[in-house]
Structure 1
Amino acid sequence: MKGQSLLQRTTLTIIAGAVTLIALFPLLWVIIAGFKEKTEVLSTPFRFFPKQWMLTNYTDILGDLAFLKSMGVTFGGAILFAVLSLLVNSTAAYSFARLEFRFKGLLWIYVIMTMFIPGMAILLTSFIVVDRMGMLDTFAVLVLPGVASAGHMFFIRQFYLNIPLALEEAALIDGADRLRIFSSIFLPMSFPVFVIVGIGSYLAFWNSFIWPTMTITNPDLFQIMQYLYNFRSERATELGMLMAGSALAAFPTIMLFLIFQKYIISGIKISGLK
């Protein structure tokens, strides 16, 4: 029996290791390709490791002011976008979960219906709106249009519906208003679900490409995906630098997951209970 358990654990470990290796292979290849010469990245026959390790690609891309600026714009915008997304969607979720007001049911149906509209279907109309508002080529056009999310409102609302009413009733008896209840009771309890929503918002901003390409032409406001796309188009032979830039662009997101992995797992568990 012990031998069977050991065999099962060994088999599961091997399978888990193989799956992990397969999942990480593209990322590892991009990182290692950044140490190759430009002619060696796509050379045949394929070589995973470079003939000679070199830091030139990484030092050159880090010396590119446009790359650093795009990383700063993207990172700062992603953080701001995540914070605003949490603020807007959590307050809306609390309103739909706990407050009573006219046409609440109809408004909630209207909000939920937007979840079923593909983002690509409203790109043109969204562009017309921000154009008429004079928001093109501004930092605001990157952040504001996508802050409100029906999916995030729904997720947070479901979490708030499971918070005991007794806590809220006790606070109301003590004279607390709705704002005080939300800030003192609901927000402190929302950290696990906020991690999931915040990281989702962060990734949505960090990986966005079509919307910034449509609305931004000023190189000073290019996001990292725009920068890498333009780099690939304008300097097609510098594949080593492109790989180095792609690896560095993935670094903040990887660190984010490593820092919050415990809370991500707990948030996933919470979402599975709703």
Structure 2
Amino acid sequence: MSKLYDRTTKTLLTLALAIVCVLYLFPILWFLLSSLKPGNELFSYPLTIFPKHATFENFSNEWNTLDFFKYFKNTFISATITTVLTVLASATCGYALAKYDRKWLKIFFVCIIATTMLPTEVIMNPTFSVIKATGLYNRLAGIIIPSINTATGIFMFRSFFVTVPDSLIESARIDGASDGRIFASIMFPIARPIVMTLSIFSFQWRWNDYIWPLIVLNDPDKYTLQVALRSIIGAQNVNWSLLLASSVISILPLVLVFVVFQRYIMNSGSTSGMKD
């Protein structure tokens, strides 16, 4: 009876999981297949999931018409540089907040966490004023620098470093290692799961960022991919074939980053380098 109950429970849970997967994957499948449809098939009635005359012409037109490589390069440069700097800044700040026993650091950490309760729109105006005053307007640096420090990244690293025994750091200091050496050689390497996780999140945030690049960038040659995709949507009509093909290509780097980095997250031990 118990075995039958367990088997029934597993079957129902598996069925529920399959239904949830279908609900998530169906819109993505429709989106991908629609990018292969000619323009006259997109809104033909009755609607069909699979294209009757699949074509890759939409992708070639998108690459040539939109000057896709230029916008792709701008987005990749800004997202990559921001991600690297975000990880380094968050790791160093998280380490200081976790391992330095100072009262003002605790107050500073509370202030950092409090910023998560502020809507982005609240700080856009003062941030833009600073960007304008420092000459970073209409430059990629103007969208990179304000995005480096994130309360989420600092919180993730601090939470991890708090769990690392102080005896590990003290042993390194006895051996003559400086704080910088301890961080670079011990703390940062064992925080690899956090590094990989934040890298995925940060790259995704910066790749999909739309509002801030739209405000800061005025030169079309410096547009990021998301801003360039918005230019496809006209006042009177929308080139859906071009928009769908561009959107498919724009998500490929995110899929690649997740596939590459997620295996490091799954296979990395958070206590590597430490004894039980």
Alignment match, 1:68: 69
Q: Report if the CA contact (8 A) 2:82-2:148 is conserved.
A: yes
Deviation, structure 1 residue 262: 3.3
Structure 1 residue ranges without an equivalent (≥5) = none
Alignment match, 1:166: 167
CA distance in 1, matches of 2:267, 2:114: 28
Alignment match, 1:149: 150
Structure 1 residues 191 and 236, CA, compared in 2 at 3 Å: closer, same or farther?
farther
In the superposition, the TM-score normalised over structure 1's length comes to: 0.90
Q: State how 1:1-274 maps to structure 2 within 5 Å.
A: 1=1, 2-64=3-65, 66-101=67-102, 103-233=104-234, 236-264=237-265
In the superposition, the TM-score normalised over structure 2's length comes to: 0.90
Q: Report if the CA contact (8 A) 1:30-1:246 is conserved.
A: no
Deviation, structure 1 residue 218: 1.2
C-alpha deviations, 1:198-248, integer Å up to 9, x for none?
111111101111101111011121111111110122794421121111111
Does 1 or 2 have the higher relative contact order (CA < 8 Å, sep 6+)?
1
Q: Report if the CA contact (8 A) 1:195-1:263 is conserved.
A: yes
* Residue identity opposite 1:26 in structure 2: P
**More displaced stretch, 2-11 vs 106-115:** 2-11
Share of identical aligned residues, percent?
29
**More displaced stretch, 232-241 vs 70-79:** 232-241
**More displaced stretch, 36-45 vs 239-248:** 36-45
* Residue identity opposite 2:14 in structure 1: T
Deviation, structure 1 residue 14: 2.6
Deviation, structure 1 residue 23: 0.8
Please report the RMSD computed on the Cα atoms of aligned residues, expressed in angstroms: 2.2
CA distance in 1, matches of 2:150, 2:181: 24
* Residue identity opposite 1:213 in structure 2: L
